[in-house]
Structure formats: structure tokens, C-alpha cells
Structure 1
Amino acid sequence: MEGIALPVALAGLVLLTSVASEASLARGFGDHLDWKTQADGLAEAKESGKPIMMLIHKSWCSACNALKKEFQNPNDDIDKLSKHFVLVNLEDDEEPREEKYGPDGKYIPRILFLHSDGEPDVDIQNVEGNPNYVYFYSQASEVTASMKEALRKMPPKDYSPHTTEL
């Protein structure tokens, strides 16, 4: 019995660690959503053909924390639309340094929509928000409007607007 206990305990620890690290990728932006790291997200998007929704934020930012509330509880629109995206959540020092990830500045939070090859589509912007900060989002309705626009412009292979209930 002792010979079995250690492997079972180790397997449980590995599973628990895996689940904990997946949940931690949400960082308060909806544990129920399938968030990825930048590297994993880019690899998955290239393989799947899905566009990327990249969220860039800081742990200390009050506007970022306010946006978290829009993602924390299941939101039917975001939940349904997110299945057609690779979701990438970047916090604090994970913010990409390349200029293409801050096309109109490095303010936070910002959400960018990228083609499956990782290139941002700078024309997908928050049309309901401040024209000086076009990648800044504060409400779920603004995010879903841009998600719909991204799917219209960059539909994944398995996507049909007629099968999505939005």
C-alpha cells in the first residue's frame, strides 16, 4: 500500500498545480474563461486559425480592476464569443515591449485583437470609448462589440456567424 500512496500523492499534486496555474492565468478576469500565456496563445492561434484577444493590464491599476468585474461573473455574450478566440492575459511585467502592442500608447488596460499569425489588427477599436485611447475598454458591451467586429474581419476556420447566437 505504501508503494502506491507516493505515486498517487504526486499525481494529485501535479494535477492540483496544473489547475491552480490555469486558474491563475485569469488574474481576476474570469476563471471560467480559457486564458493563455502569450507564447501558448500565439502557438494555439497559429495551429487553430483563431484570432487572439490580448488583454494587457497591471495588478495595481484601478481601471484594470474595474474592468475585471465585467469578466468575473459569467457573461453570456463574452462566454459565447470567447470560444472563437484564443484569449491571452498579460499582467505587469508580461506586457510586450514591441510597439505593435501599443499602437496608440502604452496605457492600461488595453485590449488588442490579433490575427492568428500574431499581428494586431489596429482597426478593431473601441468605437464607444474615448477616441484618444481606442484600445481602452471599461464595459463588457464595448468588449463584445469589438469581439464581433474581430470575428467579422478574422473568422476562424470553424466559425459561422449564423451558428453563433449573437
Structure 2
Amino acid sequence: MIKELLSVLMVLVALTCSIVKPNEIPIKNERVEPQTLSRGWGDQLFWAQTYEEALFWARSRNKPLMVIFHLDDCPHSQALKKAFTADREIQKLADKDFVLLNLVYETTDKHLSPDGQYVPRILFVDPSMTVRADIAGRYSNRMYAYEPSDMKLLLSNMQRAKKFLKAEL
């Protein structure tokens, strides 16, 4: 009985080897780069790893927090990321005056989704840990959404977040 099973097993192995040829096996030669905290939104910028860490830095450094919600496979997020990284003024202001966090998941803080959960969206939080719901984009149905053509508005909102910080604290 054992000899018969071994014979059947050997035949199966031989058939399998003859069916799949080594040059037909797909091999991925793609080199995958490790993901940084920036996720491509500005590798030269300093990004917080978690929302809690970002809140701590905002409070201790007395800087506003800019939270970017996005998805890696969302075409709108990709377009906004490209425009965000290409704008030197935004990159400079973000580097100098903001604590930065980008998230590809939702947080448990319901204040960060005042008008729903969608991507991409950008919200500002001041050092007193107050979400600045008054600093919004131009869309009434997605108040915190920005498109690549909205970079001037985003820059203006970043300056407002910075200015309110100095005037209110």
C-alpha cells in the first residue's frame, strides 16, 4: 500500500514539474522602496507618526497642526499630493510653522471629521487642541477638501491658521 502511494506521489510530482517550466514562473523584479512618514508629501519635512504624538508636538512647540487625510490608491489624493509637493511656498511654510501629520486611516477623534469621512481632506488643529473647523476649503459639500487648483487657498488657510494662533494665544 505504501509503495503504491509513493508511486502515485512520484507521478504527481513528475507531472507538476513538467507542466510548469522555470521560465514561465513570474518573478517580480520591482524594487519596493520603504515607506516614510511623509508618504510622498514632502520627504524633507518632519512628520509626526501618530495623532497623539502630533498633538503633543503642537502643544509643546506652540505650532498649529496640519492633518492630511488621504489614501495611497485614490487618484484625487495623488493629484493633491503632487500639487502640494510642487508648491515651494506651501512646503516652506509647512516646514517652518506647522506640525505635520498625514493619515491613511481615520482617527477615533470625531472632531477630525466634522462633515464626514472622505479623502483627501486637510484640517488644522491649534496648540490648545481645538480643531479649527472655521478654516475650510471652497466646497460646501466637502468643506475640508482641496484640489490641485486650490493651492493658493490652502496657502491662505495655512497663513490664517498661523495668524489666528498668534492673535488668540
**Match of residue 107, structure 2, among 96, 99, 104:** 96
Q: Matched residues in 2 for 1:109 and 1:137: separation?
A: 7
1:81 and 1:155, CA in 2 relative to 1: closer, same or farther beyond 3 A?
farther
Q: Matched residues in 1 for 2:92 and 2:141: separation?
A: 29
User: In the TM superposition, what is the alpha-carbon distance from 1:57 to its structure 2 partner?
Assistant: 1.0
Q: Partner letter of residue 79 of structure 2?
A: A
Say yes or no: does 1:52 pair with 2:61.
no
Say yes or no: does 1:131 pair with 2:140.
yes
TM-score normalised to structure 1 length: 0.72
Q: Comparing both chains, which one has the higher relative contact order based on Cα–Cα distances under 8 Å and sequence gaps of 6 or more?
A: 1
User: In the TM superposition, what is the alpha-carbon distance from 1:142 to its structure 2 partner?
Assistant: 2.4
Q: Matched residues in 1 for 2:155 and 2:142: separation?
A: 17
User: In the TM superposition, what is the alpha-carbon distance from 1:29 to its structure 2 partner?
Assistant: 1.0
Structure 2: gaps of 5 or more residues: 1-32
Say yes or no: does 1:63 pair with 2:76.
yes
How many percent identity over aligned positions? 34
Please give the root-mean-square deviation of Cα atoms over the aligned residues, in Å: 2.2
**Match of residue 108, structure 1, among 116, 119, 125:** 119
Q: Partner letter of residue 132 of structure 1?
A: N
- Residues 124, 161 of structure 2: 8 Å contact kept: yes
Question: Can you list the C-alpha shifts for 1:37-89, whole angstroms capped at 9, x where unaligned?
Answer: 2232111111111110111111221111111101233x331123211110111
- The count of corresponding residues between Structure 1 and Structure 2 is 132
The ranges of structure 1 where at least 4 consecutive aligned residues each deviate by more than 4 angstroms after the TM superposition are: none
- Residues 51, 155 of structure 1: 8 Å contact kept: no
Q: Matched residues in 2 for 1:90 and 1:155: separation?
A: 27
Larger Rg: 2
Q: Matched residues in 2 for 1:64 and 1:155: separation?
A: 30
